[in-house]
Structure 1
């Protein structure tokens, strides 16, 4: 029997939208001591995941891997950067579920994190193709897709970060989990939740899930990827597709009416581009480490930097503000 909160809320989804639990919930919430003017809390999804890797990608895979089985696919074909957390999580958890992973990797700035990640990928069982550039990836992806057919079984193609409508359900589930924690007194209802935006699925799922949970919390998405369109209209469009998916599989609820101005998307902390560290990210990473929180400079440190600097501009009002840590090394 599924223990997904989405299934408890919408029982008709239990058979039509399969789910597998891959982590231990709920993830912890605690107050951060980083010297901000408004109360700043952290929901540490870096601890989510019972396999070799944690973080936000695991929540997406809880819906995507069963969907692959439902479609009869034996292989997932997806893309990412050379330091991809998404690709590694897919390979590790897919292997546990009997699904192979094929990755097309685009170059990103080389640093110690990327070198370590590439070694992890080598040991993950994934088949890796170094396509180097976005253009070359687009040109070779159809050939790679057909090359990795298993008999008549086509691979299940997933976009960068698993940010499909089904992948976005990972953070619809995460938002419902947060609502239960708030109701249990883990923290007051936040005015804003700040998250890194690398492909859009986490922010889209949060925006939809918060409304389904009856919370008025606003999503602040900190863009860390300059290779994809990640403005508010695109995020809301993905959330809308996830909402329609829920209805098509049997969920019944009033339309959420999500609008572009229901969330804030900022590119101010991106720096030179994807994978490039910034001084603000290094500063946030150091502050977080002093409080026992491990971040990296591609995603999460840039998001925390935004939370710290936006506070000084009176962006959040009285708060409290929740920072979502999505980095899950093991």
Structure 2
């Protein structure tokens, strides 16, 4: 199970005076490897964030919780309220890791296309410590949100503590710190000779925190690496301007807590494309399923909604994608 660590984050090593809590939830750095993927790419560099997390759940969502959980405690929050689809990995990670530090998680979940992966994930959610409210459509959840927030408040005697609302995927200014941290980690791996400096880093965009955090982090590290965000969610806008605004909110948070010389991000600093989305969020495509099968031949476990679509983009773009290419494996299979 997770535990605090005295080892500083990369952000705290850069700015020792940084007034932000950090709770280590996984072993870092996650490894990088170069793999030949049949039908996808030869010599593709992969960062194995699927191996992040120490038991409660894995994948990229846990990096966000390393910053969100201590910030919740700093704010005196007792309940986290967040949203997603019925196959949400974020919601499960939030419930399991939050429970370890005494935080209750309330989830507002919306139906999505169902396959075996979603069925398995729904079963994990039902078995988790989360309090779940399920809705047939996003508009029903939006209508119910004020009531859910009021109901989720903690009432102890005369004290009323509202929940902390976290957007889908934990992609607020605090959660996005997790992938600013990851960009600095990649820069350290480049400096150590573990991989060449990537020209392109390919990630799925479901809520934006991963792409926004990496973009800001690479600018902080002084790398010329460019993020390609493969949009997999059509529930709300996720274009480059939105990613830049999220990155800059995170930069403002860093500056307000003691960081100096934090650069700003513009929409021209990253690329987002929805070419591989398919019909809707949560719906696998033939290309994403082919990517899942190709990855399985070399022992990589993907799912067809996020990682499969991002890898399908790598396959289709081929040599048109500036290299070296680093694909971020974000799936949390544990």
Q: TM-score of the superposition, structure 1-length normalised?
A: 0.96
| Matches of 1:132 and 1:80, distance apart in 2 | 12
Aligned twin of 1:184: 192
> Per-residue CA shift, 1:145-172, capped at 9, x if unaligned?
1111112111111000000011100000
CA-atom RMSD in angstroms? 1.1
Contact 2:92 2:128 in 1 (8 A): yes
| Matches of 1:192 and 1:100, distance apart in 2 | 38
> Per-residue CA shift, 1:76-102, capped at 9, x if unaligned?
000000000000000010011110100
| Matches of 2:308 and 2:86, distance apart in 1 | 19
Aligned twin of 2:104: 100
Contact 1:38 1:320 in 2 (8 A): no
1:131 aligns with 2:138: no
Aligned twin of 1:22: 25
> Per-residue CA shift, 1:89-143, capped at 9, x if unaligned?
0001001111010000011001111111111111111000012211111111111
| Matches of 2:240 and 2:96, distance apart in 1 | 32
Contact 2:41 2:314 in 1 (8 A): no
| Matches of 1:37 and 1:103, distance apart in 2 | 38
1:144 aligns with 2:151: no
Query: How far 1:213 moved relative to its partner?
Result: 1.0
Aligned twin of 1:109: 113
Aligned twin of 2:333: 329
Aligned twin of 2:324: 320
Aligned twin of 1:301: 308
Aligned twin of 1:31: 34
> Per-residue CA shift, 1:19-75, capped at 9, x if unaligned?
100001111100120255674210010000012210010000000011110110111
Query: How far 1:228 moved relative to its partner?
Result: 1.4
| Matches of 1:260 and 1:38, distance apart in 2 | 30
Unaligned 5+ segments in structure 2 are: 1-5
1:269 aligns with 2:276: yes
Residue 167 of structure 2 is aligned with which of 149, 152, 159? 159
Aligned twin of 1:170: 178
| Matches of 1:64 and 1:50, distance apart in 2 | 17
Aligned twin of 2:3: none
Q: TM-score of the superposition, structure 2-length normalised?
A: 0.95
Alignment of 1:192-211 (within 5 A): 192-211=200-219
Contact 2:251 2:264 in 1 (8 A): no
| Matches of 1:228 and 1:29, distance apart in 2 | 32
Provide the aligned length of Structure 1 versus Structure 2. 324
| Matches of 2:308 and 2:145, distance apart in 1 | 31
| Matches of 1:164 and 1:37, distance apart in 2 | 33
Contact 1:205 1:239 in 2 (8 A): yes
Residue 295 of structure 2 is aligned with which of 288, 299, 307? 288
| Matches of 1:188 and 1:2, distance apart in 2 | 26
Relative to structure 1, the CA distance from residue 37 to residue 224 in structure 2 (aligned partners, 3 Å threshold; closer, same or farther) is closer
Contact 2:198 2:324 in 1 (8 A): yes
| Matches of 1:138 and 1:232, distance apart in 2 | 25
| Matches of 1:231 and 1:315, distance apart in 2 | 21
Alignment of 1:76-91 (within 5 A): 76-91=80-95
Contact 1:80 1:106 in 2 (8 A): yes
